[in-house]
Amino acid sequence: MHPSSLPALLPKLRPGGLLFANETLVQVAPPARVTDIPVPATRLAEQAGNLMGAGMIMLGAFVAHTGVVPLGRAVAAMRAALPAHRTRMADANAALLECGAGWVNEARHPGAA
């Protein structure tokens, strides 16, 4: 998500691993042994009017790219994990997750409906 964390994380990536990088802030070429998934998370969060939502956008992109769980399950898990004083953020977070997933899907299949 931020370029300052990349040097410590790169050596931990396994060959063939995936590097999801916030391309709005991270401008470093990844090692050839990994697959780079650049996501403009901060730019998309700004466009959504929620700069603090870049992490949710990145999570949505991860879910969509890997298929680790269906997006609906990720949204449900996020809603279930929110403490009571944060439930007002659930709909905004769900929209951010969907934004990240939508960005990945559009990047894979431009113009698809």
Q: Which residue has the tokens 């691993």?
A: 17
The pLDDT value recorded for residue 1 is 85
pTM, two decimal places: 0.89
- Flag residues of the chain having pLDDT under 50: none
Tens of pLDDT, residue by residue over 95-109, are 999 999 999 988 876
Q: Which residue has the tokens 């995936």?
A: 18
CB 13 within 8 A of CB 33: yes
The pLDDT value recorded for residue 72 is 97
> Where do the domains of the chain lie, and which CATH numbers do they carry?
3-108 (3.40.920.10)
